[in-house]
Amino acid sequence: MTLSDQTTPVVPFHRLDPALLDQARVEMQSDGIPGLALGVYYDGHAATAGLGVTNLMHPQPVSGETLFQIASITKTFTATAVLQLVEKGRINLDDPVRAHLPEFAVVDPDVSASVTIRHCLTHCCGWEGDFYEDPGWGDDALAAIVGRMRKLVQVTPLGKIWSYNNAAFYVLGRILEVLHGRTFEAVLNDTLLTPLGIHGTCFFAHELVHRNFAVGHSEVRRQRVIARPCVMPRCGNPIGGLIASAEHLMLYARFQLEGASVLGDAMRLAAFEPAGPSNDVPEIGLGWWLDDTYGERVVSHGGGANGQPCFFAMVPSRRFAIAVLTNGEKGSTTAQRLLSWAMRTYFGLAVPALRSQRHAISDDWVGTYETCLERHVLRRKGEGLVYDQSTIKEWLEGLDPPPTPEIGRRVKAIGPDTMHIAPGERAQCVGTVLRDESGEARWLRIKRRAALRR
C-alpha cells in the first residue's frame, strides 16, 4: 500500500486531511484533552489545525498559531545550535566539557574530567538527570545551575547506558552561552529561530499575556483542573523552555527534512543516525530519539511541561512530519496514537505485533528502583508481577495538583528483561531491566530513565 492509494495528510489549500482531524477528536475524547494543535508536513507542504480550547476556565479556541510549552522538544533546538558550532569547527563532539567550562564538576572526579559534549547530547553521561532548582531569573541563571551540578552523583557508568538526562542540556546550553558570549535565549533566536523565519516564539511567561496560548490541565477525581505552576525556572530554557505553535514546528520540520543555510546537510542528517550506546530501542541520535520498529526510521522528541505533553516526529524517508501539541496530562498517549494512525493510514506502516510466545518473569526483577524523583517497585502478586510508582520529590516546587501514585499495575514479560506495564491499557509502557557487568539486575529503565536498584 502506498500513499498514492490513499488520502494525503495535507489536502489542497493547505488543509489537514479531515479523517486525521476526526481521529484526533476521538483520541482527545478518550484521553480527556481540552485542546490540541496538530501540524503535518508532507512532501513540501504543511498544514495545521486546532481542536478544543486553550483553558477550561477561560476558554479560547485552539488554532495552529496557539502557543504551547513544547518543553523537551526544545532539546532538539539546543542540539542543533551545538551542531552549528561543530560544523564551524569551534567545538568537537568529543571535546571534554571542561575544554569549554573549566570549572565544571559533578561528584565523580573522573566523570567531571572525562565527560564529553557527545555524552551530553546522547544522554549517557550517567549522573542524576532530573535535577531542578531555581537560581533566579537573571542572565546568570544557567551558569548558576551548572555550578550547582557539582552535587550530582553517578547513577550509571559514563558512556555505557543511556538514561534520559535533563541536566546534561544545562551543560550544553551553558557552552552555547560561553562560546557566543550571549544568553541562551539570544543565541537560539539569533542563530536558529530568526534565520529560519520562526518568529513569535518566546521563553518567558510575561511575553504571553497578549497572545493566544494554552495552559496545562491535570485530572483530580475525574475532574480536569488547571495544572500549576505553568512555567519552569529560567535555567530550564535549554532543556525545555521554548514556547511555540504548530505553525512554528512546521517551519522547523521544513528545515530538518529539506535543509536550510543554518546547517549543512551532512551535519543535519548525521543527527538522525545512532550516536550513543546502541543495542536498545529506541536508539539515540544527536539530540533525537530514533525508532526503526515501523520499518522506516522515525526521528522524534517529546515534551512534558506541566499538563502540556507535546510530540514532534519525522519520517525523513517520506518527507513527513507531525506535531501534536496538547494541554492535558494524558496528551502523550493521544500523540503516540495519532502517529501510529498516520503511519498506518498514509504509509501502510505499523509496529509489528508481538509474538505470541510466552516469556518468563525473572525472579531477580523484583525489587525497588529509584531515581531522584520517583520510586518504582516491582513486586510479586500471586504468580504474577505488579508495578507501583510513587513520587519522592516533585519536579517543580508546589505542583498543584500533586502527582498521583500508581499502584498494582499488571506486568507482562515481552522478552528477556523487557516488560509491558499496564499491558493492553492506553497507558501501557515498556520497562527494561538493565544489568551490570556481572549480570546483576541493577537498573529499571522506565519513562526512559534508568532507576537504580535500592
Mean pLDDT, residues 361-389? 96
- The number of beta carbons lying within 10 Å of the beta carbon of residue 386 is 17
Nearest to 323 by CA among 311, 315, 334: 311
For the chain, how far is it from start to end, CA to CA, in angstroms?
A: 50
For residue 265, give the amino acid letter. Answer: D
pLDDT, averaged across the chain: 94
Q: E strands, 203-340, where?
A: 217-220, 223-226, 243-244, 283-284, 289-291, 298-305, 308-315, 320-326
Model confidence at 343: pLDDT above 60: yes
CA distances from 45 to 274, 299, 322 (A): 28, 19, 12
Model confidence at 221: pLDDT above 90: no
Model confidence at 25: pLDDT above 70: yes
- Can you say whether residue 417 is alpha, beta or left, with left for phi > 0 and alpha for psi between -120 and 50 degrees? left
Q: What would the pLDDT profile of 40-88 be if each residue is shown by its tens digit?
A: 999 999 999 999 999 999 999 999 999 999 999 999 999 999 999 999 9
- The number of beta carbons lying within 10 Å of the beta carbon of residue 94 is 10
Cα three-residue angle 133-69-100, rounded to 5 degrees: 50
Task: Compute the distance between CA of residue 376 and CA of residue 453 in angstroms, rounded to an integer.
Answer: 9
Q: Which residues pair with 411 in a beta bridge?
A: 385, 421
Cα three-residue angle 389-395-397, rounded to 5 degrees: 125
Q: What would the pLDDT profile of 387-403 be if each residue is shown by its tens digit?
A: 999 999 988 887 888 88
Model confidence at 231: pLDDT above 90: no
Cα three-residue angle 341-342-347, rounded to 5 degrees: 115
Task: Compute the distance between CA of residue 17 and CA of residue 231 in angstroms, rounded to an integer.
Answer: 33
pLDDT, residue 5, reads 47
Mean pLDDT, residues 196-206? 95
| Coil/strand/helix, residue 172 | helix
- The number of beta carbons lying within 10 Å of the beta carbon of residue 1 is 11
In the block, which residue shows the cell 550517567? 126
- Run of H or E including 336: helix 331-347
pLDDT, residue 396, reads 83
Report phi then psi at 36, rounded to 5.
-150, 135
pLDDT band at 354 (very low <50, low <70, confident <90, very high): low
